[in-house]
Structure 1
Amino acid sequence: MSDTTGTLDEALQRLHTTGPERNGWLSNHAPMAVEALVRHGQAPAVHRWLDHYAPKLEELPSASLRVTDDNWAEALGDPARITDWTLFFGRELDGRPWREVLAEWWPRLLPGIAGGATHPVIRTGHAVRTLLSDPEGVTAPRRAELAHALGYWAARHQPLPALAPLAAVPSAAAALDAVPPVPDQDGGIRARLAQLTAFPVWGAAPDPDAAKARLTELVTAATHRYATHGHGEPIMLVHAATAPNAVLRALPALPRELWAPSLAAAWAAAAAVTAAYTPAEAAPYPGTALTPEEVFARAAAHGDDHTIKFTDTALDVGDPLALAAAVRSVDLNPPVL
């Protein structure tokens, strides 16, 4: 929905003085969370939420060396160049239509979709959704948010290891169930992703429409799976759903020839997070009689950024099991408000 309050632009302006990471490499989730809050009718709560979250944040890092059309390849994947990349995309978006910039850079960035624990692509998906939702009102803060998101993705770009194909499976749910967990689940996500060796074969799409349908299926399956498996790592496993949903949100802004590779990258991201954090056993979960609006209001009152973003994705899926998964995330993650 379109924001008629001005709250989103105000919040983004506050946030664009801060960096995309904190404490070394933890992500700044505020731009994504405030976009979800505004979209779901919680604009009056945004600045109070930001006041609570802001002390965690750090200033935007200093720029070091200008990224250009000639040297961008050597800067790709260099987290020390986050601000250089953000400034680069700011210049690009000032000079060209945002869809044109996105279409050029999307295939370059897709191979690094898992970088930054998938947060850069998720932030990009939120930014694109905002731009698509009100095409007549592409404001400077919203365009700048896309620059920050793409800059973060370029700086944290990190391809997954080479992966061998396992047996083909017939559905997204079966594919997630068949993902082998990494052997050592004691370290952080970068150490876990380095252990990946093979994924089930799923998701080949003969045409763009099939790719979109299978990407929708993947988002649904990953959201549902959180209800039974989210206890394995309640924060990190939300990304198995929110990362592919970010890709799904971007599809309408992309040329159709990019939809099939987008599906392949989204499957790799969801499978990687699943392999890194999936628990050994499923667990029972309670259903819910709450409406979607009530579920999101509960997530907003809970205040955890990951919970807000996962509930936002669950509402996109919209069925009873997705709503139950969202309530499960509220129950599993510690409240912050």
Structure 2
Amino acid sequence: MGNTPSDHTSSDNTGTLDEALERLHASGPEHGGWLSNHAPMAVEALVRHGQAPAVHHWLDGYRHKLEDMPETSARVTADNWREALGDHRRVADWTEYFLRETGERPWREVLAEWWPRLLPGIAAGATHPVIRVGHSVRTLLAGEETAPRVAELAHGLGYWAARHQPLPALTPLAPARSAAAALDAVPPVPDQSGGIRDRLAQLSAFPVWPGEVTGDPDQARARLTELVTAATHRYATHGHGEPVMLVHAATAPNAVLRTLPALPRTLWAPSTAAAWAASAAVTAAYGPAEATPYRPAGASAEELFARAAAHGDDHTIKFTDTALDVGDATALAAALRSIELNPPVG
């Protein structure tokens, strides 16, 4: 894939990212009921791609979507966490738990313990919790492990634990030869009139992909990279089906890919399998029946991200960030497609 985790975030000496995260940590992970707070993810992407001067202005425009963090109700502990898992009313309790854990232990240790516990619920919250964790881990791996950046991981993990909900049991379909072929073979859910929870409840079967990779973590990572590329490319031809929601078919597995270097290698294969389930679930829930043509980006990666930042839509910013990770011509065309399809802010 195109970019490495060494770019702008690691050399951000302005303090903008930490300021933005501190500003955001008084807010909850959702607003208006089930809608996710995308600001922590978007500002991380903006800073990473050289748009730090625009961050606070962008946050000012996003402020109306922020709601205060809910009140805590009961302490989550090592003994009672199972009964609290998946209880969205306890998001503040979960956040406090992970703030304590990351304050007392190295963040990698906390992540390695909780990642396999949370992974079965990867599609929960429309995949936003795992995406938020992926942005956080990328920052921690790329630069200084400041208190706001570690706290952001705690907020992401807390959100994931509170919204945790596994997918239904799925029947395996015929194996697919590639990630692109697997996405093409995902059967759509029968009724696409409801919200994502209604749609995910209808899932019944996925193609078998990527097959058996449990004995080779590097192969698992290669397959996951293939999936991110295929899902990003697919947006160029299928993003019109639901331009906002279909970005997650790419950004969710990319969040997992960004997290792999911080995880024990024994977790790479199950992480790839879960990432496939998340990408396939979004594709089944929102993918259109027909592809449409797309045009070349006609711009550099830097120019495209500047356009996404000026466009202002949080999903567009995050998808363009993923497209730049892939970095090839089709991915850049997909980024342009997201800029064209999603309504701009302002």
TM-score range normalised by the length of the shorter chain: over 0.9
Q: Secondary structure at the match of 2:298?
A: coil
**What is the Cα deviation at residue 238 of structure 1?**
0.1
Correspondent of 1:105 among 105, 114, 118: 114
For the residue of structure 1 that corresponds to 2:27, the secondary structure is: coil
Counterpart code for 1:225: R
Distance in 1 separating the partners of 2:65 and 2:105: 34
SS class of match (1:58):
coil
Q: Corresponding residue for 1:289?
A: 298
1:320 and 2:320 are equivalent in the alignment: no
Q: How much has 1:139 moved relative to structure 2? A: 0.7
Q: Which residue of 2 aligns with 1:81?
A: 90
Deviation of residue 110 (structure 1)?
A: 0.1
Pick from 206, 216, 236: which aligns with 2:225?
216
Does 2:69 match 1:60?
A: yes
**1:260 matched residue in structure 2:** 269
The equivalent residue for 1:23 is: 32
Q: Does 1:158 align with 2:165?
A: yes
Is 1:174 aligned to residue 187 of structure 2? Answer: no
State the Cα distance separating 1:107 from its structure 2 match: 0.2
2: CA distance, partners of 1:212 / 1:4: 31
Give the superposition deviation at 1:56. Answer: 1.2
**How big is each residue's C-alpha offset from its partner over 1:76-106, in whole Å with a ceiling of 9 and x where there is no partner?**
0000000000000000000000000000000
The alpha-carbon deviation at position 109 of structure 1 amounts to: 0.2
Q: Which whole-Å deviations, capped at 9, do the CAs of 1:12-34 have from their partners, x for residues lacking one?
A: 00000000000001000000000
Task: Choose from 278, 293, 318 the match for 2:287.
Answer: 278
Matches of 1:90 and 1:59, distance apart in 2: 17
Query: Which structure 2 residues correspond to residues 302-313 of structure 1 after superposition, within 5 A?
Result: 302-313=311-322
Q: Partner residue of 1:140? A: 147
Shift of 1:72: 0.2
Superposed displacement of residue 4, structure 1: 1.2
Aligned mates of 2:163, 2:139 — CA distance in 1? 23
- Counterpart residue number, 2:254: 245
Deviations, residues 232-267 of structure 1 (Å, cap 9, x unaligned): 000000000000000000000000000000000000
Shift of 1:273: 0.1
Partner of 1:96: 105
Partner residue, 1:125: 134
Structure 1 letter corresponding to 2:240: H
What is aligned with 2:3? none
Q: Give TM-score, length-normalised by structure 2.
A: 0.96
Deviation at 1:317, TM superposition (A): 0.1
Write the distance in 2 (CA, Å) between the matches of 1:164 and 1:58. 40
2:205 matched residue in structure 1 = 198
The CA deviation at 1:289 is 1.7
CA distance in structure 2 between the aligned counterparts of 1:4 and 1:32, rounded to whole angstroms: 19
* Separation of aligned partners in 1, 2:80 and 2:94: 11
Report the AA paired with residue 160 of structure 1.
Answer: L
Equivalent AA in structure 2 for residue 296 of structure 1 = F
User: For structure 2, which runs of at least 5 residues remain unmatched after alignment?
Assistant: 1-6
Q: Structure 1 stretches of 5 or more lacking a match?
A: none
Residue aligning to 2:53: 44
Name the SS for the 2:172 alignment partner. strand
In structure 2, how many angstroms separate the alpha carbons of the residues matched to 1:143 and 1:251?
17
State the distance in 1 between where 2:199 and 2:217 align.
32
TM-aligned CA deviation for residue 189 of structure 1: 0.2
Q: Compute the displacement of 1:43 (Å).
A: 0.1
**Separation in structure 1 between the aligned mates of residue 210 and residue 23 of structure 2, nearest angstrom:** 40
Question: 2:119 & 2:62 partners in 1: Cα distance?
Answer: 30
Report how far residue 214 of structure 1 moved.
0.2
Structure-1 separation of matches of 2:210 and 2:158: 28
How many residue pairs get matched? 335
Amino acid at match of 2:70: P
Deviation at 1:116, TM superposition (A): 0.1
CA distance in 2, matches of 1:277, 1:109: 24
- What percent of counterpart residues are identical? 79
Partner amino acid, structure 2, of 1:230: G
Q: Deviations over 1:303-327 (max 9, x none)?
A: 0000000000000000000000000
Q: Tell me, what secondary structure is at the counterpart of 2:206?
A: strand
Give the partner amino acid of 1:227.
A
**Which residue among 320, 335, 339 is the counterpart of 1:330?**
339
